[in-house]
Amino acid sequence: MKFTMMIPLTLFILIILGGSVYCERPSVVNVGAIFSFNSVIGRVAKAAMEAAASDINADPRILSGTELKLIREDTNCSVFMGSIEAFQVIEREVVPIIGPQSSSIAHMISLIANGLQVPLVSYAASDPTLSALQFPYFFRTTQSDSYQMAAMADLIDFYGWKELAKKMSKVSFKLTLPTQYDLSDITYLLNKSKLLGPRVYVVHINPDPGLRIFTVAQKLHMMTGNYVWLSTDWLSATLDTFSTENQSSLKILEGVVGLRQHIPQTVQKKAFLSRWRKMQKNGQIHSELNVYGFYAYDTVWAVAHAIDKFLNEHYNIPFSFTDKLHDEKGTETQLGKHKVFDGGKVLLKKLKDINFTGLTGQIQFTTDQNLVNSDYDVINIAQMAIHGVGYWSNFSGLSTLPPETLKEEQISHYHPDQKLDNVTWPGGTTEKPRGWVVASNERPLRIGVPNRASFVEFVTESHSSHKIQGYCIDVFNEAQKLVPYDIPFKFEPFGDVKEDTVSTLGRLVMVVWLFLLMVITSSYTASLTSILTVQQLSSSSITGVDSLIAGDWPIGYQLGSFAYSCMTEILYIPQSRLISLGSPEEYDKALRLGPSNGGVAAIVDELPYVELFLSQQTDFGIVGQSFTRSGWGFAFQRDSPLAFDMSTAILQLAETGRL
């Protein structure tokens, strides 16, 4: 059976390649490895790839008779160098290229790889926009950042650091560092960020052995309570490679929470770890192992499996010269003579079909050529050690059980209770930080108060002391005491005495506190009401707002109050019937004069003013039902987190009866 299969295949090769009649496999296949030698990931990946190559070459079950040779090139973190080297390694007939580390270099090389039909298999380029849709020759043997960001979003949601009282969080500010940032760049950015409200930082940078961001943050007193530092996998990759001598640098990281690609604890993983230790002892390796070592190791195996399958059918690695290149849009580009891999499409297919168990778990690609596994560990740095506090997986969210256990127990496709072990936060506290501040002492919250001349019991600026005082101010002061964090603030009178305060306020949300009060106590049903004189109370035909509208008597309203627009725009009372009144004294005078003597038949005003007025007068009373449902309130900027906390505080004041 085997024999009869071989003959047509050989004939097939003869036809396709014309002259080259190879019945034997090549003695060597060259695999390109483009990465930054002197980097946190590169140092580990180099040793891991070499270990994989030597394992493959010693294993008779794979690529037997053919040596897998790694052709290494150092990109030195440069996109330009990476691109030049991609051309150089392809000239040496490598298939495929493993690497590069960095996503920006991967973007560039992917274009070249497409043009020359050489697959690119990266164990570290995590940018989700590097997709097979745009770069058909790109494979990713680590996790896409789209999963890492989903994990980060779940973490933020879990701790409730969102700006609104909904299941919704947003990136409030992006602090962008230049590519070659130095300490002064970080200092400037972080110092500037202190003036902003949010205190939850998500740090997403390249691995940095100097931990410069945290060193600066510590100098700026930002590694303390109130601050939350979340880090993507660059931090665990960096820390895992630290030798015991610089474990002391973990001290500045107290309270940081980070993610690390999850690799299940298996016999193979443990064996590789102890082998690594042995190589360290022998002086063959000078770095501790991190997850990228496991991924790089599996990547070489994936490539070897694909080449093995390819050679089973094609016997050699066919390259040809061309001066025509096709870019991703199919247009021809003149680049001079270049070698193109003629077996590109076939090898691509072999890679897509990879399915084996590696150190990191199942090595298999999704249709968009990412690894099927996408789980993370959640780590917390406390007491100068790295603690695992839970796991994240795409199918179960956050949990204290490893994803493979959940998968085994078939707890899938629904999110069970999200859970993590206790975390120590910056400053050593175990209590969850609030995650943002409204204001700081340097930049207190500015609170506008209407500059009123009438009904000064509610709010006014004292003439003698210039202190802002009144009932509204008392309510604010009491409520803010119940908000569980400090709000440095100052009052600022605004508007001139006659201004309509509501129309000057733009994008605001109202916390209608008198309305809340009404709901709780049920003692008021609404807030606009009308007052009539005693004489009219007994004899008049006015029994409420409807009969007031039906008549043609003059109606009083408070200058600057929304009662005016309510009456003209909602109740369609002619403006000619409305008379503005500036103070309680004018109310009194107008009501006493009555409609036929230049006064008013009734005044329509907000209930609190009416109540205040009536508390000092016994000759007048309220008729009919109150007729609108708006109340008084504090107005906040839309999206202000303070709106929610102040509402809660005012409810508390109402419940205790203090309001």
Ligand X SMILES: *[C@@H]1O[C@H](CO)[C@@H](O)[C@H](O)[C@H]1NC(C)=O
Residues that bind ligand X (CB under 6 A): 76, 187, 191, 209-211, 242, 246, 249, 355, 374, 394-395, 422, 430
Question: Distance (Å, rounded) from C-alpha 391 to C-alpha 400?
Answer: 6
Nearer to ligand X, 117 or 143 (CB): 143
What is the DSSP track for 108-158? HHHHHHHHHT--EEESS---TT--TTT-TTEEESS--HHHHHHHHHHHHHH
| Smallest gap from residue 495 Cβ to ligand X (A) | 30
| Smallest gap from residue 430 Cβ to ligand X (A) | 6
The residues, ordered by sequence, that sit 6+ positions from 85 with a Cβ below 8 Å of its Cβ are 34, 73, 74, 75
Identify which of 247, 292, 258, 385 has the alpha carbon closest to the alpha carbon of residue 39: 292
Nearer to ligand X, 211 or 449 (CB): 211
Q: Alpha carbon of 514 to those of 394, 615, 634: distances in Å?
A: 45, 18, 10
| Smallest gap from residue 438 Cβ to ligand X (A) | 17
| Smallest gap from residue 196 Cβ to ligand X (A) | 11
Nearer to ligand X, 217 or 311 (CB): 217
Nearer to ligand X, 143 or 527 (CB): 143
Nearer to ligand X, 158 or 395 (CB): 395
Nearer to ligand X, 204 or 432 (CB): 432
| Smallest gap from residue 392 Cβ to ligand X (A) | 12
Strand, coil or helix: what is 332?
Answer: strand
| Smallest gap from residue 398 Cβ to ligand X (A) | 14
| Smallest gap from residue 221 Cβ to ligand X (A) | 10
Nearer to ligand X, 355 or 521 (CB): 355
- Angle at 475 (CA atoms; ends 647, 464), nearest 5 degrees: 145
Question: Distance (Å, rounded) from C-alpha 45 to C-alpha 117?
Answer: 25
Nearer to ligand X, 394 or 580 (CB): 394
Helix pair angle (471-482, 641-656), 10° resolution: 100
For residue 100, cis peptide bond before it (omega within 30 degrees of 0):
yes
| Smallest gap from residue 409 Cβ to ligand X (A) | 17
Question: Distance (Å, rounded) from C-alpha 357 to C-alpha 268?
Answer: 10
- For residues 48 and 297, the answer to whether their CB atoms sit within 8 Å is yes
Nearer to ligand X, 151 or 475 (CB): 151
- For residues 633 and 513, the answer to whether their CB atoms sit within 8 Å is yes
**Count of CB atoms situated within 10 Å of the CB of 655:** 11
Question: Distance (Å, rounded) from C-alpha 323 to C-alpha 325?
Answer: 6
| Smallest gap from residue 317 Cβ to ligand X (A) | 26
User: End-to-end distance of the chain based on CA atoms, in angstroms?
Assistant: 92
